[in-house]
Amino acid sequence: MSLVLSLLRRFRWRIPVAMLLGAGGAVSGLALVAVINALVAGTLPFDTQRLGLMAALLVAVFACGFLSQSMLTSLGHRVVSDMRVETVKRIMDTGLERLDAIGAPALYATLAKDIVAVGQAFNRLPLLFANAIMLLSGFCYLAWLSFPLFAFSAGLIGAAAAVAYRWVLRMRALMMEVRATDDRLMETYRGAIEGRHELALNGWRRQIFHREDVARTAEHARVTETHADRYWALSLSWTSMLVLGVMAGIFVAGTMLGLPAANIAAFVLVLMFLRMPLNELVGTLPILLAGNVALARVEALRLEQYRAHFHAPLADGTPKLPADRAASAGTPLMELRGIVFEHPAANGEKGFRLGPVDLTIERGETVFIVGGNGSGKSTLMSILAGLRKPAGGSIRLSGRQITDAERHCLREQVSAVFSSPFLFERLVGPGGQLDEALAQAFLRRLRLSGKVSIQDSRLSDIQLSQGQRKRLALLSALVEQRPVLLLDEWAADQDPVFRRFFYEELLPELRAQGRTIIAISHDDRFFHVADRVLQCDAGTLSPWGGREAVRNAQTVL
């Protein structure tokens, strides 16, 4: 609802104007029917003046309808475009924990389906409004024509609407279910595309995946959709029957009440005219309901509210924390005290607890972290990067305690290459400006210059081998020129020659430039490169216990 209100607020004057035009068209149409009625009944003379009036009303019906429709449909397209842009920004501003809980398929489904559904519903609003106005003014005219007949038809229509309302509620519930199935379908699409190699290898897997996951989910959607459409067909037929039934009833009631035939005929003519808006109203119901369901889905995601800015200031109004703040006073770059983080339990499996972690990182230090699979290394890394919010403890950056609202300051200091990095074609340097010469130099040093080129800050190709993609991800991190570099098992995919180059040339060079490097690594042959090696074990951090401890590092279950 808040979304609709914000849209109405944004297009403040255009929506009322377009709706007024729609109402103008509806009233003109009805006035034309009233004039024809009066001409037929002989209460108005048929002369050039009436002819002119009818022509003017016809022009008004056309002009108001066209202007109102085109204004509101263009607004509908604007709504879709704004919602796309804003929803992506809201996703970017939402915490990782929330995004993990929502899951990628639900987010893709919202971007691909919900936004379009809201736009389509929005496009129908003018029609809905024009038809509602037409019905309202039509019933006022009917009441003026004959109040007893109006009361009779209003009673019948009211009773029928009460029945139809239950069907509409049921239809909405079914559409909610269809929409929930869309998330599951999206997951199967992802499986078919991203799991294509695994599926191509195994015919049984292909068959079972297709039958149990794809076909079963699609079938559930089909059955539920068909069920929902049945309620719609019921409502449509009910409406058609209702209008014809009311007409027949009017004739019987009018005759029994002894009303003049001309009055009954006029009444029936107006009802005939009102049949069209009534049918259109019911006809747009599925689109309106789909928009309503889509809005409910977007709001249920509980994404961060939209904000236009990208760089939030510090609590004291400082736009950015200076990288070398307090460096002269010898303050450590980062201090973690009693940091605790929990991955919540899911599907009956127990969660994971990291901490309490105490860690001080000096400026320019090279720190390696070792530990078994699932021991919490990557989780710690994401806390050091300010990506995850610890449940307890404090983080100081250059001596300044970082509040939750200021975690973005931590992020601004850090470049990272995660274990499965996402590659963007565009390289971004400090302040959004790329130092092309530096990027070209790194491209050569990472031995990618024969494979990829950089033009206008863009990489010419990112479809490379796993190891080469990791080198591009490192390039992308290095050109950011940030004081802290976080690497999650970066060298794991590199060949032995390049691995040696990385540990024995590149890292010492970066260290000499004053970069602080925190790297998850299992290459104990190169641990001499680090100032310190720490060991992560079941969520706790301690100094490395030597090669033996690495070999004995247990996988955390």
Amino acid identity of residue 138, one-letter, is G
Cβ-based nearer residue to ligand ATP, 91 or 556: 556
Q: CA geometry: angle at 312 spanning 306 and 317, to 5°?
A: 135
Q: Which residues are near ligand ATP by CB under 6 A?
A: 100, 343, 352, 371, 373-379, 419, 556
Cβ-based nearer residue to ligand ATP, 52 or 103: 103
Cβ-based nearer residue to ligand ATP, 222 or 350: 350
Cβ-based nearer residue to ligand ATP, 356 or 374: 374
Classify residue 317 as left (phi > 0), alpha (psi -120 to 50) or beta. left
Contact 11, 251 (CB under 8 A): no
Cβ density class 122-137: b for 16+ within 10 Å, e for less: bbbbbbbbbbbbbbeb
Q: CA geometry: angle at 29 spanning 27 and 35, to 5°?
A: 100
Omega within 30 of 0 (cis) for the link into 356: yes
**Min. distance of Cβ 100 from ligand ATP in angstroms?**
5
**Min. distance of Cβ 389 from ligand ATP in angstroms?**
13
Cβ-based nearer residue to ligand ATP, 255 or 373: 373
**Min. distance of Cβ 305 from ligand ATP in angstroms?**
24
Cβ-based nearer residue to ligand ATP, 48 or 555: 555
**Min. distance of Cβ 376 from ligand ATP in angstroms?**
4
**Min. distance of Cβ 342 from ligand ATP in angstroms?**
9
Tokens linked to 54: 């009818």
Tokens linked to 186: 């999206």
CA–CA separation, 306 and 94 (whole Å): 10
* φ, ψ dihedrals at 37, nearest 5°: -55, -45
Calculate the alpha carbon distances from 112 to 103, 204, 244, 294, 348 in Å.
Answer: 15, 31, 41, 11, 31
CA–CA separation, 230 and 236 (whole Å): 10
**Min. distance of Cβ 378 from ligand ATP in angstroms?**
3
CA–CA separation, 519 and 472 (whole Å): 17
CA–CA separation, 280 and 127 (whole Å): 8
Element (H, E) at 361: strand 352-361
Cβ-based nearer residue to ligand ATP, 6 or 540: 540
HEC readout, 78-98: HHHHHHHHHHHHHHHHCCHHH
What's 311's DSSP letter? S
Calculate the alpha carbon distances from 518 to 316, 361, 527 in Å.
Answer: 29, 9, 12
**Min. distance of Cβ 108 from ligand ATP in angstroms?**
18
Cβ-based nearer residue to ligand ATP, 189 or 352: 352
Cβ-based nearer residue to ligand ATP, 369 or 454: 369
- The number of residues making up the chain comes to 557
CA–CA separation, 107 and 312 (whole Å): 24
Cβ-based nearer residue to ligand ATP, 374 or 399: 374
**Min. distance of Cβ 546 from ligand ATP in angstroms?**
19
Q: CA geometry: angle at 103 spanning 410 and 432, to 5°?
A: 35
Amino acid identity of residue 28, one-letter, is S
Sign, Cα dihedral of 429, 435, 436, 437: negative
Cβ-based nearer residue to ligand ATP, 379 or 468: 379
CA–CA separation, 25 and 236 (whole Å): 24
Cβ-based nearer residue to ligand ATP, 313 or 374: 374
Cβ-based nearer residue to ligand ATP, 29 or 371: 371
CA–CA separation, 44 and 88 (whole Å): 61
Whole-angstrom Cα Rg for the chain? 34
Calculate the alpha carbon distances from 364 to 120, 254, 387, 514 in Å.
Answer: 55, 95, 22, 5
**Min. distance of Cβ 350 from ligand ATP in angstroms?**
9
Cβ-based nearer residue to ligand ATP, 8 or 345: 345
